[in-house]
A and B are shown apart, each in its own frame.
Chain A
Amino acid sequence: MSSHHDPRTALLPERDIHKIPVMECRALGIDFGGLTAVDDFNITVAPTEIAGLIGPNGAGKTTIFNLLTKVYKPSRGAMFLNGKNTKHMTTIKANKAGIARTFQNIRLFKEMTVMQNVLVGLHNEMNYNLVDAIFRAPKYWRAERIAKERAHELLSIFNMQDDGERKAGSLPYGSQRRLEIVRALATNPCILLLDEPAAGMNPSETSDLMENIKEIRDIFKIAILLIEHDMNLVMGICEGIAVINYGRVIAKGTPEDIQNDPVVIEAYLGKERENAEGHRH
Chain B
Amino acid sequence: MLFVAQLVNALQLGSIYALIALGYSMVYGIIKLLNFAHGDVIMVGGYIAIFSLAAGMHPAVAIILVIVGCTALAIIMEKLAYTPLRNAPRISVLITAIGISILLQNLAQLFFGARPRPLHIPFPTGSISIGEITLAYPMLITIGSAILSMLMLNYIVHRTKLGKAMRAVSEDTDAARLMGINVNSVITFTFALGAALAGIGAVLYFVRLPVVAPTAGAMLGLKAFIAAVFGGIGSIPGAMLGGFAIGILEVIVNASGFSRWTDGAVFLVLIIILLVRPAGLVGKPTIEKV
Interface residues of A (CB under 8 A from B): 69, 71, 91-92, 95-96, 100-101, 103, 107-112, 116, 119-124, 126, 128, 130, 133-134, 140, 143-144, 147, 183-184, 186-187
Contact = CB atoms under 8 A, between A and B. Distances in A.
Given A112-B164, A116-B164, A133-B159, A123 B178 contact: no
Given A120-B176, A133-B160, A112 B181 contact: no
6 contacts: A91-B177, A95-B177, A109-B171, A119-B164, A133-B160, A183-B179
A120 B164 contact: yes
Contacts, number: 80
A123 B174 contact: no
A274 B168 CA distance: 48
Contact of B179 (A71, A120, A134, A143): A120
Given A96-B180, A187-B180, A111 B175 contact: no
Nearest to A90: B177
A123 B185 CA distance: 13
Nearest to B152: A134
Contacts of A134: 152, 156
Contacts of B176: 109, 120
Interface residues of B, number: 23
A108 B176 CA distance: 9
A100 B180 CA distance: 9
B177 A133 contact: no
A67 to B, nearest CB: 13
Contacts of A133: 155-156, 159-162
Nearest to A193: B178
B167 interface: yes
B83 interface: no
A121 B164 CA distance: 10
Contacts of A111: 167, 171
Contact of A101 (B168, B172, B178): B178
Pairs of residues from A and B, 9 with the lowest C-beta to C-beta distance, nearest first: A95-B180, A133-B160, A107-B175, A120-B168, A109-B171, A91-B177, A126-B161, A124-B180, A109-B168
A117 to B, nearest CB: 8
Nearest to B185: A92
B172 A123 contact: no
A166 to B, nearest CB: 16
A116 B182 CA distance: 17
Contact of A112 (B152, B160, B168, B182): B168
B19 interface: no
Given A120-B165, A120-B168, A130-B162, A109 B175 contact: yes
A124 B179 CA distance: 9
B238 to A, nearest CB: 14
A112 B167 CA distance: 8
A95 B180 CA distance: 5
B178 A95 contact: yes
A183 B172 CA distance: 14
Contacts of B183: 92
Instruction: Give the one of B159, B172, B177 with max A CB within 10 A.
Output: B177
A167 to B, nearest CB: 12
Interface residue SS majority, chain B: helix
Nearest to B162: A130
Contact of B171 (A110, A124, A186): A110
B165 to A, nearest CB: 6
B164 A92 contact: no
A17 B164 CA distance: 41
Nearest to B186: A123
A124 to B, nearest CB: 5
A134 B160 CA distance: 9
A182 to B, nearest CB: 12
Nearest to B182: A92
Given A95-B180, A123-B164, A134-B156, 14 more contacts: A69-B178, A92-B177, A92-B183, A95-B177, A96-B180, A100-B179, A109-B167, A109-B176, A119-B164, A128-B161, A130-B162, A133-B155, A133-B156, A183-B179
Interface string B179-221: 1111100000000000000000000000000000000000000
B179 A187 contact: yes
A121 B179 contact: yes
Contact of A120 (B152, B174, B181, B182): B181
Contacts of B167: 109, 111-112, 116
A95 B164 contact: no
A91 B162 CA distance: 19
Contact of A123 (B152, B155, B161): B161
Interface in B49-92: none
B181 A123 contact: yes
A73 to B, nearest CB: 13
Nearest to B174: A71
Contacts of B156: 130, 133-134
Contacts of A183: 179
Nearest to B176: A120
Nearest to A107: B175
Given A96-B180, A124-B180, A103 B161 contact: no
